[in-house]
Amino acid sequence: MSEPVLVVGGAGYIGSHVARALAEAGHEVAVLDDFSTGHRDATQGHAVVECALEDEAALDAAFARLRPQAVVHLAGRIEVGESVRDPGLYFASIAANSNRLLDAACRHGTRRFVFSSTAAVYAPGDAPLPENAPLGPASPYGQAKAMVEAMLPHFARAHGLAWVALRYFNAAGAHPDGSLGERHDPETHLIPLALRAAQGRTGGLTLNGDDWPTRDGTCVRDFIHVCDLADAHRLALDYLVHGGESRALNLGTGHGHTVREVLDAVARVTGLPVPVTVGPRRAGDSPVLVADPAAARELLGWRPRFADLDTIVAHARAFERGRA
Protein backbone atom coordinates (compact mmCIF):
# COMPACT_ATOMS: atom_id res chain seq x y z
CA MET A 1 0.00 0.00 0.00
CA SER A 2 1.57 3.30 -1.09
CA GLU A 3 0.71 6.79 0.11
CA PRO A 4 1.99 10.38 -0.08
CA VAL A 5 5.08 10.68 2.13
CA LEU A 6 6.96 13.82 3.12
CA VAL A 7 10.64 13.09 3.79
CA VAL A 8 11.92 15.90 5.99
CA GLY A 9 15.67 16.22 5.61
CA GLY A 10 15.46 14.19 2.41
CA ALA A 11 18.43 15.96 0.80
CA GLY A 12 20.82 14.69 3.46
CA TYR A 13 22.92 11.55 3.67
CA ILE A 14 20.38 9.15 5.18
CA GLY A 15 17.32 11.09 4.03
CA SER A 16 18.26 10.85 0.36
CA HIS A 17 18.58 7.07 0.62
CA VAL A 18 15.23 6.87 2.46
CA ALA A 19 13.46 8.99 -0.16
CA ARG A 20 14.82 6.79 -2.93
CA ALA A 21 13.79 3.56 -1.17
CA LEU A 22 10.26 4.88 -0.60
CA ALA A 23 9.91 6.02 -4.21
CA GLU A 24 11.16 2.67 -5.49
CA ALA A 25 8.50 1.00 -3.34
CA GLY A 26 5.80 3.04 -5.10
CA HIS A 27 5.21 5.86 -2.62
CA GLU A 28 4.54 9.40 -3.79
CA VAL A 29 7.55 11.13 -2.27
CA ALA A 30 8.18 14.82 -1.59
CA VAL A 31 11.34 16.11 0.05
CA LEU A 32 11.30 19.02 2.49
CA ASP A 33 14.72 20.46 3.26
CA ASP A 34 16.30 23.84 3.97
CA PHE A 35 19.53 22.78 2.18
CA SER A 36 21.67 24.11 5.00
CA THR A 37 23.56 20.80 4.96
CA GLY A 38 21.72 18.74 2.32
CA HIS A 39 22.44 18.64 -1.40
CA ARG A 40 19.97 19.47 -4.16
CA ASP A 41 21.28 16.80 -6.50
CA ALA A 42 20.68 14.17 -3.79
CA THR A 43 16.92 14.64 -4.17
CA GLN A 44 17.18 12.76 -7.50
CA GLY A 45 14.05 14.08 -9.16
CA HIS A 46 11.66 13.95 -6.21
CA ALA A 47 9.28 16.84 -5.64
CA VAL A 48 11.10 19.36 -3.43
CA VAL A 49 9.92 21.97 -0.94
CA GLU A 50 12.65 24.30 0.30
CA CYS A 51 11.61 25.20 3.82
CA ALA A 52 13.25 25.73 7.20
CA LEU A 53 11.42 24.10 10.10
CA GLU A 54 11.79 27.39 11.99
CA ASP A 55 9.51 29.01 9.38
CA GLU A 56 6.13 27.97 10.73
CA ALA A 57 4.12 29.76 8.05
CA ALA A 58 6.04 28.11 5.21
CA LEU A 59 5.82 24.75 6.95
CA ASP A 60 2.07 25.14 7.34
CA ALA A 61 1.72 26.07 3.67
CA ALA A 62 3.73 23.00 2.62
CA PHE A 63 1.46 20.66 4.58
CA ALA A 64 -1.66 22.39 3.29
CA ARG A 65 -0.50 21.88 -0.29
CA LEU A 66 0.99 18.39 -0.07
CA ARG A 67 -1.37 16.77 2.48
CA PRO A 68 1.04 13.93 3.26
CA GLN A 69 -0.42 10.89 4.96
CA ALA A 70 3.00 10.13 6.46
CA VAL A 71 6.09 12.04 7.52
CA VAL A 72 9.58 10.59 7.79
CA HIS A 73 11.60 13.04 9.87
CA LEU A 74 15.38 12.97 9.44
CA ALA A 75 16.25 16.67 9.75
CA GLY A 76 18.53 18.06 12.43
CA ARG A 77 22.15 18.48 13.39
CA ILE A 78 24.19 15.31 14.00
CA GLU A 79 27.55 16.03 15.66
CA VAL A 80 27.93 14.80 19.24
CA GLY A 81 30.98 16.94 19.96
CA GLU A 82 29.37 20.08 18.58
CA SER A 83 26.31 19.45 20.75
CA VAL A 84 28.50 19.45 23.86
CA ARG A 85 30.05 22.77 22.82
CA ASP A 86 26.75 24.37 21.79
CA PRO A 87 23.81 22.57 23.44
CA GLY A 88 21.30 25.30 22.68
CA LEU A 89 21.86 24.83 18.97
CA TYR A 90 20.93 21.15 19.27
CA PHE A 91 17.87 21.61 21.45
CA ALA A 92 16.64 24.15 18.89
CA SER A 93 17.56 22.11 15.80
CA ILE A 94 16.20 18.80 17.07
CA ALA A 95 13.69 19.27 19.89
CA ALA A 96 12.10 22.64 19.09
CA ASN A 97 11.99 22.05 15.33
CA SER A 98 10.50 18.57 15.80
CA ASN A 99 7.77 20.08 17.95
CA ARG A 100 6.95 22.53 15.14
CA LEU A 101 6.90 19.70 12.62
CA LEU A 102 4.65 17.52 14.75
CA ASP A 103 2.25 20.41 15.30
CA ALA A 104 2.01 21.08 11.57
CA ALA A 105 1.62 17.40 10.71
CA CYS A 106 -1.21 16.91 13.17
CA ARG A 107 -2.99 20.13 12.14
CA HIS A 108 -3.11 18.84 8.59
CA GLY A 109 -4.22 15.30 9.28
CA THR A 110 -0.98 13.36 8.89
CA ARG A 111 -1.63 9.88 10.23
CA ARG A 112 1.84 8.34 10.49
CA PHE A 113 5.23 9.60 11.66
CA VAL A 114 8.62 7.87 11.44
CA PHE A 115 11.32 9.59 13.47
CA SER A 116 15.07 9.37 12.99
CA SER A 117 16.34 8.80 16.52
CA THR A 118 19.69 7.50 17.75
CA ALA A 119 21.45 5.00 19.97
CA ALA A 120 22.80 8.06 21.80
CA VAL A 121 19.56 8.09 23.83
CA TYR A 122 20.86 5.12 25.86
CA ALA A 123 22.89 5.21 29.04
CA PRO A 124 26.20 3.37 28.80
CA GLY A 125 25.49 -0.30 29.47
CA ASP A 126 26.19 -3.87 28.53
CA ALA A 127 26.00 -4.69 24.85
CA PRO A 128 23.92 -5.49 22.95
CA LEU A 129 21.35 -2.90 24.03
CA PRO A 130 17.62 -3.76 23.78
CA GLU A 131 14.97 -1.05 23.47
CA ASN A 132 14.08 -1.35 27.17
CA ALA A 133 17.66 -0.59 28.27
CA PRO A 134 17.89 2.49 30.51
CA LEU A 135 17.94 5.83 28.77
CA GLY A 136 20.60 8.30 29.84
CA PRO A 137 22.03 10.39 27.02
CA ALA A 138 25.64 11.46 27.51
CA SER A 139 25.35 14.39 25.10
CA PRO A 140 22.90 17.19 24.27
CA TYR A 141 22.48 15.52 20.85
CA GLY A 142 21.22 12.33 22.48
CA GLN A 143 19.15 14.26 25.01
CA ALA A 144 17.42 16.27 22.29
CA LYS A 145 16.53 13.07 20.42
CA ALA A 146 15.19 11.57 23.65
CA MET A 147 13.06 14.68 24.13
CA VAL A 148 11.44 14.13 20.74
CA GLU A 149 10.80 10.49 21.58
CA ALA A 150 9.08 11.69 24.76
CA MET A 151 6.85 14.02 22.71
CA LEU A 152 5.56 11.33 20.37
CA PRO A 153 3.21 9.47 22.75
CA HIS A 154 1.58 12.77 23.71
CA PHE A 155 0.88 13.65 20.07
CA ALA A 156 -0.44 10.12 19.61
CA ARG A 157 -2.89 10.49 22.48
CA ALA A 158 -4.02 13.97 21.47
CA HIS A 159 -4.21 13.48 17.69
CA GLY A 160 -4.21 9.76 16.95
CA LEU A 161 -0.77 9.90 15.35
CA ALA A 162 0.86 6.50 14.85
CA TRP A 163 4.64 6.61 15.16
CA VAL A 164 7.88 4.68 15.14
CA ALA A 165 11.18 6.04 16.48
CA LEU A 166 14.13 4.34 14.81
CA ARG A 167 17.21 4.34 17.01
CA TYR A 168 20.11 4.19 14.57
CA PHE A 169 23.45 2.93 15.64
CA ASN A 170 26.28 4.02 13.28
CA ALA A 171 25.14 4.80 9.74
CA ALA A 172 27.82 4.05 7.18
CA GLY A 173 28.45 3.17 3.55
CA ALA A 174 26.91 4.49 0.35
CA HIS A 175 24.46 3.38 -2.31
CA PRO A 176 25.97 0.46 -4.25
CA ASP A 177 25.46 2.28 -7.57
CA GLY A 178 27.66 5.15 -6.37
CA SER A 179 25.00 7.83 -6.79
CA LEU A 180 24.46 8.68 -3.11
CA GLY A 181 26.79 8.82 -0.12
CA GLU A 182 28.23 10.93 2.67
CA ARG A 183 29.01 14.57 1.91
CA HIS A 184 29.05 16.24 5.30
CA ASP A 185 30.89 19.55 5.64
CA PRO A 186 32.83 19.20 7.80
CA GLU A 187 32.96 15.42 7.67
CA THR A 188 32.95 13.82 11.12
CA HIS A 189 32.15 10.17 10.41
CA LEU A 190 34.87 7.58 10.79
CA ILE A 191 34.83 5.66 7.50
CA PRO A 192 35.02 8.60 5.05
CA LEU A 193 37.64 10.25 7.23
CA ALA A 194 39.69 7.05 7.28
CA LEU A 195 39.39 6.66 3.50
CA ARG A 196 40.60 10.20 2.95
CA ALA A 197 43.49 9.69 5.37
CA ALA A 198 44.53 6.47 3.61
CA GLN A 199 44.49 8.29 0.27
CA GLY A 200 46.73 11.05 1.63
CA ARG A 201 44.03 13.67 1.24
CA THR A 202 44.33 14.73 4.88
CA GLY A 203 47.10 14.84 7.44
CA GLY A 204 45.92 11.60 9.00
CA LEU A 205 43.16 10.43 11.33
CA THR A 206 42.94 11.36 15.00
CA LEU A 207 41.66 8.64 17.34
CA ASN A 208 39.36 10.05 20.00
CA GLY A 209 41.16 8.20 22.77
CA ASP A 210 42.82 4.79 22.91
CA ASP A 211 42.25 4.14 26.62
CA TRP A 212 38.59 3.17 26.56
CA PRO A 213 37.60 -0.05 28.43
CA THR A 214 37.35 -2.09 25.20
CA ARG A 215 39.34 -4.91 23.59
CA ASP A 216 41.86 -2.58 21.94
CA GLY A 217 41.25 0.70 23.78
CA THR A 218 39.15 2.32 21.04
CA CYS A 219 35.38 2.77 21.00
CA VAL A 220 33.14 -0.05 19.77
CA ARG A 221 30.31 0.79 17.40
CA ASP A 222 27.65 -1.11 15.45
CA PHE A 223 27.98 0.01 11.81
CA ILE A 224 24.79 -0.27 9.75
CA HIS A 225 24.72 0.27 6.00
CA VAL A 226 22.74 3.33 4.95
CA CYS A 227 20.70 1.30 2.43
CA ASP A 228 19.71 -1.07 5.22
CA LEU A 229 18.60 1.95 7.25
CA ALA A 230 16.56 3.13 4.26
CA ASP A 231 14.90 -0.29 3.97
CA ALA A 232 13.98 -0.11 7.66
CA HIS A 233 12.21 3.24 7.19
CA ARG A 234 10.18 1.79 4.33
CA LEU A 235 9.27 -1.25 6.42
CA ALA A 236 8.44 0.92 9.45
CA LEU A 237 5.97 2.89 7.36
CA ASP A 238 4.41 -0.35 6.07
CA TYR A 239 4.21 -1.58 9.67
CA LEU A 240 2.24 1.52 10.70
CA VAL A 241 0.00 1.34 7.62
CA HIS A 242 -0.98 -2.17 8.68
CA GLY A 243 -1.81 -1.13 12.23
CA GLY A 244 1.48 -1.76 14.03
CA GLU A 245 1.79 -0.46 17.57
CA SER A 246 3.72 2.78 18.05
CA ARG A 247 7.13 2.19 19.60
CA ALA A 248 10.89 2.68 19.38
CA LEU A 249 13.06 0.18 17.48
CA ASN A 250 16.81 -0.33 17.28
CA LEU A 251 18.55 -0.42 13.91
CA GLY A 252 21.91 -2.14 13.95
CA THR A 253 23.56 -5.41 13.04
CA GLY A 254 24.04 -6.63 16.60
CA HIS A 255 27.82 -6.82 16.08
CA GLY A 256 30.34 -4.20 17.15
CA HIS A 257 33.67 -3.17 15.64
CA THR A 258 36.35 -1.09 17.32
CA VAL A 259 37.71 1.99 15.62
CA ARG A 260 40.98 0.18 15.00
CA GLU A 261 39.11 -2.74 13.40
CA VAL A 262 37.42 -0.26 11.05
CA LEU A 263 40.82 1.15 10.13
CA ASP A 264 42.01 -2.39 9.42
CA ALA A 265 39.00 -2.86 7.10
CA VAL A 266 39.85 0.37 5.28
CA ALA A 267 43.42 -0.86 4.83
CA ARG A 268 42.18 -4.21 3.46
CA VAL A 269 39.79 -2.59 0.98
CA THR A 270 42.15 0.12 -0.24
CA GLY A 271 45.48 -1.65 0.14
CA LEU A 272 46.69 1.45 1.98
CA PRO A 273 47.46 1.98 5.66
CA VAL A 274 45.56 4.64 7.58
CA PRO A 275 47.95 7.08 9.32
CA VAL A 276 46.71 7.81 12.83
CA THR A 277 47.53 9.92 15.83
CA VAL A 278 45.96 9.56 19.25
CA GLY A 279 44.01 12.45 20.72
CA PRO A 280 41.91 12.86 23.85
CA ARG A 281 38.54 11.26 24.35
CA ARG A 282 35.64 13.15 22.81
CA ALA A 283 33.12 14.56 25.28
CA GLY A 284 29.75 12.83 25.06
CA ASP A 285 31.07 9.52 23.70
CA SER A 286 30.21 6.10 25.11
CA PRO A 287 32.78 3.28 25.04
CA VAL A 288 30.45 0.68 23.50
CA LEU A 289 27.22 1.05 21.52
CA VAL A 290 25.92 -2.16 19.95
CA ALA A 291 22.28 -2.86 19.08
CA ASP A 292 20.00 -5.69 19.93
CA PRO A 293 17.96 -5.51 16.69
CA ALA A 294 15.65 -8.44 17.45
CA ALA A 295 12.49 -6.34 17.66
CA ALA A 296 13.01 -4.73 14.23
CA ARG A 297 13.69 -8.14 12.75
CA GLU A 298 10.54 -9.59 14.28
CA LEU A 299 8.10 -6.70 13.81
CA LEU A 300 9.32 -5.25 10.51
CA GLY A 301 10.76 -8.37 8.91
CA TRP A 302 13.95 -6.34 8.48
CA ARG A 303 17.22 -8.06 7.65
CA PRO A 304 20.38 -6.07 6.84
CA ARG A 305 21.62 -6.90 3.34
CA PHE A 306 25.05 -5.31 3.73
CA ALA A 307 26.17 -6.26 7.24
CA ASP A 308 29.76 -7.14 6.28
CA LEU A 309 32.13 -4.35 7.33
CA ASP A 310 34.37 -4.68 4.26
CA THR A 311 31.31 -4.32 2.01
CA ILE A 312 30.27 -1.15 3.84
CA VAL A 313 33.77 0.28 3.43
CA ALA A 314 33.94 -0.75 -0.24
CA HIS A 315 30.66 1.05 -1.03
CA ALA A 316 31.86 4.17 0.79
CA ARG A 317 35.15 3.99 -1.10
CA ALA A 318 33.39 3.74 -4.47
CA PHE A 319 31.39 6.87 -3.69
CA GLU A 320 34.50 8.74 -2.53
CA ARG A 321 36.39 7.76 -5.68
CA GLY A 322 33.48 8.91 -7.84
CA ARG A 323 33.76 12.37 -6.30
CA ALA A 324 37.56 12.66 -6.56
Q: How far is CA 315 from CA 158, 249, 257, 259, 279, in A?
A: 43, 26, 17, 18, 28
Q: Residues for the chain: how many in total?
A: 324
Catalytic residue from among 90, 141, 168, 239: 141
207 phi and psi angles, rounded to 5 deg:
-75, 135
Note if 13 is an active site residue: no
Query: How far is 73 from 165, CA to CA, in rounded Å?
Result: 10
Reported as half-sphere exposure (CB side, CA atoms, 13 A), residue 215 has a value of 8
Distance between start and end Cα atoms, the chain: 40
Buried/exposed code over 268-283 (b: 16+ C-beta within 10 A; e: otherwise): ebbeeebebeeeeebe
For the annotated catalytic residues, the residue numbers are: 141
